[in-house]
């Protein structure tokens, strides 16, 4: 069996690459962080010095990278994947937006490489446990080669052949996820100021119609304990919301809520810090209402 290439071994990528190793598959990896590569090498992955070296040694290659410009550089840049000798299929697992997916498909096709976009949802825990959902698009004829690999990460949905269809689906998902955090922050802040106990509020919401992914997961794990360490950077969430609002505008859809949440994420980066987790949106809402966002649990 030939190598599977994996580039970008961060919070999400490391979990997914480790799942391929746990299934006994041969994996060749690259990341600009030596520690990230070392973790995978310990699990039996082969380490490569560059993206191109991965593409010289694997027919199917996956990338999980933080920002769209990095994805573009790693795949189409001068010493990138497109120059690789062995690669036939490149799969972008990052959230990079439908417009980049189209540019990647066009750029890679010039080198005889097929392109899939397959962004993922389910967080760091989902990546580690193989419980992600993946939203893929690309050439249907090659899906039977791609799907069995993605199934190691969770449930893979094929959204169609149009490049970027998977990315559009992912932006819609993240719009709902980010808006849920923002509105939960508003409701919780209101209740706290009125004297309600936050833990009790979450217990009630989770048995009531206000339940959502933020009340079920984000508050119990990262906001009630005041750790704000859910595992998704506010910088990445801001990137997603910018892509989402811009894409919607291009389609003639004005996202009223999405625009506000994009701006709340920008304030989170400015006021809480560039390394803030996206759950720290709650701190900005609390501070606006006169609560101390740095109070203990």
Listed in sequence order, the residues at least 6 apart from 60 whose beta carbon sits closer than 8 Å to its beta carbon are 2, 4, 5, 87, 88, 89, 91, 145, 146, 149
Rounded to whole angstroms, what are the CA distances from 29 to 51, 64, 111, 219? 8, 11, 21, 34
Single residue of 6, 153, 232, 238 touching ligand NAD by CB under 6 A: 232
How far is the C-alpha of 291 from the C-alpha of 288, rounded, in Å?
7
Nearest distance from C-beta of residue 259 to ligand NAD, angstroms: 19
Among 10, 97, 163, 166, interactor with ligand NAD by CB under 6 A: 10
- Could you say which of 121, 133, 162, 259 contacts ligand NAD (CB under 6 A)? 121
Residue 97 contacts ligand NAD per CB under 6 A = no
DSSP H or E segment with residue 190: helix 165-193
Q: What share of the chain is helix, strand, coil (3-state, %, to 5)?
A: 55, 10, 35
Nearer to ligand NAD (CB atom), residue 122 or residue 138: 122
Of 151-210, binders to ligand NAD (CB under 6 A) are none
Stretch that binds ligand NAD, among 6-14, 188-196, 207-215, 221-229 (CB under 6 A): 6-14
Question: Does residue 47 touch ligand NAD according to CB under 6 A?
Answer: no
CA distance 214 to 273: 21
Q: Smaller CB distance to ligand NAD: residue 166 or 189?
A: 166
Active site residue 85: no
Q: Which is nearer to ligand NAD, 166 or 201 (CB)?
A: 166
Applying CB under 6 A, does 13 fall inside the site for ligand NAD?
yes
Name which position in 101, 236, 243, 285 contacts ligand NAD (CB under 6 A).
Answer: 236
Binders of ligand NAD: how many residues, by CB under 6 A? 28
Given a contact cutoff of 8 angstroms between Cβ atoms, the answer to whether 237 and 278 are in contact is yes
- Taking the complex as a whole, the smallest distance from the CB of residue 227 to ligand NAD amounts, in Å, to 15
> Using DSSP, how many helices (H) and how many strands (E) does the chain show?
13, 9
Burial class, 183, CB count within 10 angstroms (exposed 0-12 / middle 13-18 / buried 19+): middle
Quote the least distance from Cβ 295 to ligand NAD, whole Å. Answer: 26
Residues whose CB is less than 8 angstroms from the CB of residue 103 and which lie 6 or more positions away in sequence, other chains included:
72, 76
The minimum distance between CB 51 and ligand NAD, in angstroms, equals 6
CB 55 within 8 A of CB 5: yes
Q: By CB neighbour count within 10 A (0-12 exposed, 13-18 middle, 19+ buried), where does 141 fall?
A: exposed
CB 192 within 8 A of CB 290: no
From 36, 108, 156, 284, residue interacting with ligand NAD (rule: CB under 6 A): 36
- Which of 3, 4, 6, 7 binds ligand NAD (CB under 6 A)? It is 7
Binding site for ligand NAD (CB under 6 A): 7-13, 30-33, 36, 51, 64-66, 70, 74, 94-95, 120-121, 123-124, 231-232, 236, 240
Residues tagged active-site: 170
């Amino acid at each position: 069996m030939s190598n599977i290439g994996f580039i970008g071994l961060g919070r999400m990528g490391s979990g997914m690459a480790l799942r391929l190793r746990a299934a006994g598959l041969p994996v060749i990896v690259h990341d600009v962080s030596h520690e990230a590569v070392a973790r995978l090498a310990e699990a039996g992955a082969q380490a490569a010095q560059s993206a191109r070296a991965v593409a010289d040694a694997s027919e199917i290659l996956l990338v999980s990278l933080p920002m769209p410009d990095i994805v573009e550089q790693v795949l189409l840049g001068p010493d990138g994947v497109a120059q690789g000798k062995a690669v036939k299929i490149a799969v972008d697992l990052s959230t990079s937006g439908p417009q980049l997916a189209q540019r990647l498909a066009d750029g890679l096709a010039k080198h005889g490489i097929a392109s899939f976009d397959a962004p993922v949802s389910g967080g760091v825990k989902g990546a580690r446990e193989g419980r992600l959902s993946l939203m893929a698009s690309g050439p249907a004829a090659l899906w039977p080669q791609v799907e069995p690999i993605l199934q190691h990460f969770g449930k893979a949905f094929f959204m169609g052949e149009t490049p970027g269809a998977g990315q559009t689906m992912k932006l819609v998902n993240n719009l709902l996820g980010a808006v849920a955090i923002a509105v939960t922050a508003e409701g919780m802040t209101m209740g706290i100021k009125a004297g309600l106990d936050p833990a009790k509020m979450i217990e009630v919401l989770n048995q009531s119609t206000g339940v959502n992914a933020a009340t079920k997961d984000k508050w119990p794990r990262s906001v009630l304990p005041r750790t704000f360490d859910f595992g998704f950077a506010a910088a990445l969430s801001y990137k997603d919301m910018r892509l989402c609002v811009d894409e919607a505008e291009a389609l003639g859809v004005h996202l009223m809520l999405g625009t506000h949440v994009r701006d709340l994420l920008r304030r989170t980066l400015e006021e809480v810090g560039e390394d803030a987790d996206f759950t720290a949106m709650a701190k900005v809402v609390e501070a606006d209402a006169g609560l101390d966002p740095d109070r203990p649990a």
